[in-house]
A and B are shown apart, each in its own frame.
Chain A
Amino acid sequence: MDRFYWSNKGIEAGETKSFCQNGVRIYDGDQKTSYDDGVLTLTSHKLMWMDSSNSQICISLSLSLAVFCERHGGGIGKSAKVSLHLQPVPQDRLPGPVARSSFGFIRFAFKHGGDVEFNHKMEQAIHNKAWEKSLRKSSHSTPEMRPLRASGIIGIERKMEAEKKMTDQSISVAFKDLTKLMEKAKEMVTLSSTIAEKIKDKKGDITDDETVKFQSYLLSLGIPNPVTKQTHGSGTHYHQQLAHEIARSLKPQIEKSGGMILLTDAYCRINRARGMELLSPEDLLNACRVLSHLNLSIKLRQFDTGVMVLQLDSHSDETVVKQTTELVTDSNSLSSEELASLVDISVLLAKERLLLAESSGAVCRDDADQGLRFYPNLFLTKSR
């Protein structure tokens, strides 16, 4: 496996393709590798394997390292395999997916057949030794190895190509496994934002999907150290700390949404900000219940219809009654739909506010054919 090197999908001049098969998995000796589903291509000079789900991952093996191959037939639930025995690792090896391997052979498993033909073509290729002929021809000047000195457009092109290779390589190395990714996390964070920035510069946005955009936005609001049961137990203390977190993280969003959001929306928003530390609906509800005791300027409110919302304290009953009464007085009388368009809230909510004002005695109703209208309570203000 350590003889493989990162490569591009291209074929050099003088090289000929003789075999191609998909659904091939690579084994390092007897061991399965993560290169589990790809397209295997055999040319006169090399073996090339390309990941099916991600065509950026492409590795090659020079045939000059192949010694001989043997086929093992498959059975029920077992795919046919071909082993390929290899020469020792050469001195000047190119960087590849595996730095060191204890095995002197690799194996290919053929999920969708093709093993017989591959074995045959491989034997032919090893016998023909096409690489020796072309090596001799071009041994004095390998164009690739010459130092890149050209400037101008060619220089730019080469630089672009080199940069691309570097980036591709560092991505595939970093995502090799989790430990690698953790080591290189910082680098990858920077790289990801550079790529995204560049694309935004050229194209506008990385996606047209509104949901994905919204999701990215919510994720980017990330909570650095989410309150969890592991850190804060599971009792009242936990819910209080959660309440603080919710208030801190959601208040700006509630303000933006007109002072009120559905508890269900809050569930989505807070969980996105928390990333992978999911909060259950139960915990969210319990935490929101203690909001009002903590004076955090938002609180949970339940309507008679069973709808629950988080709302700013500026929407508390006293302020609402005061504001509504003022509006009714200013326009002499109001129906719920008129109030709704005045303060830009739903008709239902407007009606509720008027009823609230009525129950506190600030306005009076007139229930006529034209619908329910409310007038300032003159009995209260003018009757002395």
Chain B
Amino acid sequence: MRRRGVGASAITKKKLETSRYKEHGNELAMIQLDQLSKQLETFHSHLEKFAANHKQEIRKDPQFRRQFQQMCATIGVDPLASGKGFWSEMLGVGDFYYELGVQLVEVCITTRPQNGGIMPIKELHQKLLKTRGKYAQDISLDDIKTALSKLKLLGTGFTLLGTGSKQIVKSVPGELNMDHSAVLEVAQKYNGKVSNSDIEAMYNWQTERIQHVMEHLVREGMAWIDTQTPNKETWFWFPAFFNVKNNN
């Protein structure tokens, strides 16, 4: 028969045992998570490979197509991976640029909360290279521009601004831009006078984004430019909020 420990030493022993079991359990959980992540990775790379190599066959069978899409959704794989091919290369036709269009709109939509729809084309390029699968064809800045030009048909919602490598993709047109209201809020707070640095301090936006909003507000006649300021910084005056100051 087993001897039962009594007294302080038994308690210490039991405590020690429990903590060891716990430690071991945590370790096991870690190992399991590690294994699962590896399996996910395998799945990921297999799906990417198949999307790149078997597009036509997958499309042929409706049931399988649905299952494939389902897997892509759960694992987080982009099923669009057409190669550029001869016709896309020469004439810019074919699925390649349409697919790139879908992907670039997606990136723009998801980064809007941070950048307000103003994204340097280089950054967009980097992001696309990252999110497109590793079996997808490499893309250049020119490819992005071609894909953007295909989207022109859908209105001027997405536009390319500026020149050279400093080009910016703007994905929020004035009609849907809430930045103006945000700037007007600041203007009201400062009794009708703001500078770019005021806005930056308030919202932490990039310079391009601020410039953009201000230009628009000036064009719309809501703000007046003042370049003869004591600190050489450009100020913007909002006549709509002048009387606020007088009332106080």
Q: A207, A209, A275, A281: which contacts B150 (Cβ < 8 A)? A: A281
Chain B positions within 8 Å of A308 at CB level = 154-157
B46 touching A171, Cβ below 8 Å: yes
Chain B positions within 8 Å of A153 at CB level = 21, 24, 28
Residue A263 lies at the interface, judged by CB distance under 8 Å to chain B: yes
User: Which chain B residue shows the least CB distance to A206?
Assistant: B76
Interface string of A108-123 (1 = CB under 8 A from B): 0000000000000000
Interface string of B101-115 (1 = CB under 8 A from A): 110011101110000
B40 touching A337, Cβ below 8 Å: no
Residue A142 lies at the interface, judged by CB distance under 8 Å to chain B: no
Known contacts A199-B37, A276-B65, A281-B153; A222/B42 CB under 8 A: no
B52-86 contacts to A, CB under 8 A, are 54-55, 57-59, 61-76, 78-80
Chain B positions within 8 Å of A309 at CB level = 155, 157, 175-176
Residue B239 lies at the interface, judged by CB distance under 8 Å to chain A: yes
Q: How many residues of B contact A (CB 8 A)?
A: 85
A175 touching B46, Cβ below 8 Å: yes
B40 touching A215, Cβ below 8 Å: no
Chain A positions within 8 Å of B130 at CB level = 209
B181 touching A341, Cβ below 8 Å: yes
Interface string of A148-172 (1 = CB under 8 A from B): 0000010011001000100110011
Chain B positions within 8 Å of A206 at CB level = 40, 75-76
Q: Looking at the assembled complex, report how far the CB atom of A224 sits from the nearest CB atom of chain B, in whole angstroms.
A: 6
A307 touching B65, Cβ below 8 Å: no
Residue A144 lies at the interface, judged by CB distance under 8 Å to chain B: no
Residue A349 lies at the interface, judged by CB distance under 8 Å to chain B: yes
Interface string of A267-303 (1 = CB under 8 A from B): 1100110011110111011000000000000000011
Q: A195, A275, A282, A307: which contacts B157 (Cβ < 8 A)? A: A307
Chain A positions within 8 Å of B78 at CB level = 215
Residue B145 lies at the interface, judged by CB distance under 8 Å to chain A: no
B71 touching A340, Cβ below 8 Å: no
Chain B positions within 8 Å of A378 at CB level = none
In this complex, the member of A178, A186, A220, A275 whose beta carbon has the largest number of chain B beta carbons within 10 angstroms is A275
In this complex, the member of B63, B71, B184, B185 whose beta carbon has the largest number of chain A beta carbons within 10 angstroms is B71
Q: Looking at the assembled complex, report how far the CB atom of B238 sits from the nearest CB atom of chain A, in whole angstroms.
A: 8
Q: Looking at the assembled complex, report how far the CB atom of A201 sits from the nearest CB atom of chain B, in whole angstroms.
A: 10
Residue A11 lies at the interface, judged by CB distance under 8 Å to chain B: no
Chain A positions within 8 Å of B109 at CB level = 214, 265, 268
Chain A positions within 8 Å of B89 at CB level = none
A281 touching B131, Cβ below 8 Å: no
Chain B positions within 8 Å of A156 at CB level = 28
Residue A305 lies at the interface, judged by CB distance under 8 Å to chain B: yes
A185 touching B68, Cβ below 8 Å: yes
Chain A positions within 8 Å of B107 at CB level = 211
Residue A181 lies at the interface, judged by CB distance under 8 Å to chain B: yes
B98 touching A278, Cβ below 8 Å: yes
A352 and B59 alpha carbons, distance in the complex (Å): 44
A212 touching B131, Cβ below 8 Å: yes
Q: A56, A157, A262, A352: which contacts B28 (Cβ < 8 A)? A: A157
B40 touching A264, Cβ below 8 Å: no
Chain B positions within 8 Å of A185 at CB level = 63-64, 67-68
Given contacts A265-B157, A307-B173, 7 further A-B contacts (CB under 8 A): A54-B41, A54-B45, A214-B110, A268-B102, A276-B69, A308-B155, A348-B180
Interface residues of B (CB under 8 A from A): 21, 24, 28-29, 31-33, 35-43, 45-46, 49-51, 54-55, 57-59, 61-76, 78-80, 95, 98-99, 101-102, 105-107, 109-111, 127, 130-131, 150-151, 153-158, 171, 173-178, 180-181, 184-185, 220-222, 239-240, 242-243
Interface residues of A (CB under 8 A from B): 53-54, 56-57, 153, 156-157, 160, 164, 167-168, 171-172, 175, 178, 181-182, 185-186, 188-189, 192-193, 195-196, 198-199, 202-203, 206-207, 209-220, 222, 224-225, 260, 262-268, 271-272, 275-278, 280-282, 284-285, 302-303, 305-309, 335, 337, 340-341, 346-349, 351-352, 369-371
Q: List 20 A-B contacts (CB under 8 A).
A: A164-B39, A178-B58, A189-B71, A192-B74, A195-B40, A222-B69, A262-B158, A263-B157, A276-B65, A276-B69, A278-B99, A282-B153, A303-B175, A307-B157, A346-B174, A346-B175, A346-B178, A346-B180, A347-B180, A348-B175
Interface pairs A-B: 3 shortest CB-CB? A308-B155, A268-B105, A219-B73
